[in-house]
Structures are given as structure tokens and as C-alpha cells.
Amino acid sequence: MRDRAANSDGAALVERARGLYSLLSRNAAATDRERRIPEENIEALAGAGLLSLGIPARFGGLQASIRTHLEVSAALGEACGSTGWVAQNINAAEVVAGMFADRAQREVWGENPRARVVGSQAPTDDVKRVDGGWLIGGRWPWLSGSYHADWAFLGFPLTGSPGQPRTPAFGLVPLSAGRIEDTWFVTGMRGTCSNTLVLENVFVPDHRVLDARCALEGKVPTEHVDEALYQSALGPVLILILVGSQIGLAQAALSIVCEKAPKRAISYTSYASQSESVGFQIQAGEAAVQIEAARLLALDAADRIDRAARAGERMPYDQRVRVRAEAAWVCRQLQRAVGDLVDAHGASTFAESNPLQRVWRDLNAAARHAMLTTQVGFELLGKALLGRDERISGLI
């Protein structure tokens, strides 16, 4: 397929993200404490174009590859896990919005080319078919970045005839149509503003509805079929994008531990510094390999998604479940690596003044996202490998 895309240089975008390290890391403690990302961070991200990776080039967006999405969010996550998480989710939600019909896209970005999108796949039961569309209501939790966005794609079922199965769908809704309830009281990824959107009888016209089952099979309503990004496999994109900031968090943990090692003794031993200890050296080396292996596997999965989209090919089911299993494995390795680094660093990790405790909390919260659980990911892949057609999850 001919790929009509923006001339966005992935390496240059990653460098832009790294260029924000000082600002984001300086604000990381405040982000955690105040439970939201400072506007200074958001303005810096927007100014660098790093909240436009998923916006079509037709509207002035960067229309960047999924690999670039991952690399940018990892660079941001290394400075601040919450900021990286919100950026990656906004950018991924923009990719989803780019799969909708052109009319819907123009409503999102036509008058505001920098409009930001967030998403919640949690469905609601308050749905009614009306002339020209749907009336929906309910509560959509875990809407990361909700304070910094303009639109949301929301999960809801398309109700059919009595006794017929309902079709899962996404609807594009302006956030101004509802209200945000402050429900995000957690111990990790505190700054992501993953609050709850409440809607009451909001009309969603048919052109702003995406049949999720069709989209997961690669059939999306966008008329711009020469834009490869929006032909990407929906399930793998929504799952894999979640690991980006976590890679950055693990890299931050490694840097913190190695930087402090020469200045820290090992209590109750003759070692004047941790860096003198062979045992510590082994722990650091093993963690570094685990983090790099996880990073490379995630990037390889992103490359597979990008290649299939550019070739105009639909990723078959067994390849899609492989991405989900790999994303889960990546998170497990990052958790193990950071856990080992915390063990090596010692109990002072949990001093409030130590940034390592925030990294540990953020990673352990993010890695337990429901779409990243290893038991489900590995089971799905195992069933596919063994030829068992048992679809235990709809998001593939």
C-alpha cells in the first residue's frame, strides 16, 4: 500500500522527548503529590509535537509509526512515569480516532487540529438506539489524561434484536458532553488523572461509531486507506502502547541505582561502596540485560505491527495474540528487573525523598493493567499454538 504519512523523523521525535527530561523529572514529585500532570509539562509536550503522534498528517499531525510511539513514551517515562503514560495513551487514542470515518475525524480535528483524545474501553449498559445514532449514558473509569483532553472514545454495546448478541463498539464523544469525577486515588501512576467520565443520555451519531469487532479484524471505516497508521491492528496497538512508559521507568531505576552505588556502603559488610561488591555488580548487570531484552522485544512487536499496516496486510489472529503475550512478558521482565534493583539498592529505596520509590510504585501499578496480565496473555497464545479456537478475550 502507498503510505501517505507525515514526514516525521522518529529519531528526531525521540530526541525531542529526551530534551524534556530536566523539566519532567524536576516536576515528577509534584506530579505524584498533586495527582495530576502540571500544565507546564503538558504545554512542553504539546509545543514539541509529542501529543500529536497519532493525529493524521491531513490535520497537521505527525502520524508517527507505532515504533516511534513506543520510543517517545519510553523517553518521557524515564523522566516521569505519569507523564509518559498520559502521552502514550493520548497518542494511541488519536490513532483510534483516525480509524473512524472522515466526517468524524473532521469533527474532532477540523476546527482544532491539536484536539487531544483519550479512551476507555469499559462498556456501559445504558444504550438506546435512536434515529441516526445512539443515546448512551453511564460511567467510564480509568480515563487517563482526562484533564488534558477534548474528546474520548468510549466502549459501549450496539444493541440488536432481542436474543441476539450485542456488538462491542467505540463511540467518539466530546468530553464537554459529560463531567469528570475525581476517582483516581491510587499509590502508583498517581499523576495520570485516570478519572471517571459520567455521561447522561448523550447522542452519538452513527458516523462517530466504530464497530470494535470489525476494527479488530482490520476493517475500519476511514476512507483514507493510504494512511498506513490507521490500518494498524487495533488490539495489538492498544495493548503494546501500554509498555512504552514502563520501559522508561525501568531504565530510570537502573540509572538511579548505578549512579548512587559508588556513594553507598553495604551495611554490615566491609564494602565501602555498593559498586565494589561482585554480588551487586551481578544484580546490576542482570537487570540491565532484562530491561534491554524487554525493550527490544517490544520494539520488534511494534515493527511487526507497522510492517503489516504498511503492506496493507491484516495481522492474523495468532500474530495478534503473540503481541499480547509478548507485552505481558515485557512487563513481567521489567517488574523483575526493577525489583532486583530495589533489592540491591536497599531499604532506603522507600524514603519519600528517594525517586526510586516512585519509579517502583509507578511501574508496579502500570504493569498490572488488565490487558497486560501474563496468565491471560500466555493462555491466549498457548491456545492459538495448540489450535484451540477458544476466544477468552474480545480485545485481540
Is the sign of the CA dihedral 174, 63, 229, 76 positive or negative? Answer: negative
Tens of pLDDT along the chain (396 residues) come to 546 655 468 999 999 999 999 999 999 999 999 999 999 999 999 999 999 999 999 999 999 999 999 999 999 999 999 999 999 999 999 999 999 999 999 999 999 999 999 999 888 889 999 999 999 999 999 999 999 999 999 999 997 655 566 789 999 999 999 999 999 999 999 999 999 999 999 999 999 999 999 999 889 999 999 999 999 999 999 999 999 999 999 999 999 999 999 999 999 999 999 999 999 999 999 999 999 999 999 999 999 999 999 999 999 999 999 999 999 999 999 999 999 999 999 999 999 999 999 999 999 999 999 999 999 999 999 999 999 988 888 888
160 bridge partner residues: none
133: helix, coil or strand?
A: strand
- HSE (side-chain half, CA atoms, 13 Å) at 326: 22
Secondary structure string (H, E, C) spanning 158-200: ECCCCCCCCEEEEEEEEHHHCEEECCCCCCCCHHHCCEEEEEE
Cα 224 from Cα 275, distance rounded (Å): 55
CATH class belonging to 117-216:
mainly beta
* Beta carbons of 3 and 226 less than 8 angstroms apart: yes
Place of cell 447522542: 203
Domain spans of the chain, in order of start: 10-115, 117-216, 235-385
**What phi-psi label fits residue 119: left (phi over 0), alpha (psi between -120 and 50 degrees) or beta?**
beta
Residue 323 is placed in which grid cell? 503481541
Write down the pLDDT at residue 160. 65
Q: What's residue 9's pLDDT?
A: 86
What local confidence, expressed as pLDDT, does residue 4 receive?
60
Q: What is the CATH number of domain 235-385?
A: 1.20.140.10
Residue 130: the pLDDT is 96
Fold (topology level) of 10-115: Butyryl-Coa Dehydrogenase, subunit A; domain 1 (1.10.540)
- Lookup: cell for 16: 525531542
Query: Quick one: pLDDT at residue 2?
Result: 47
pTM of the model: 0.95
Give residue 390's pLDDT: 87
Neighbours of 270 (CB within 10 A): 8
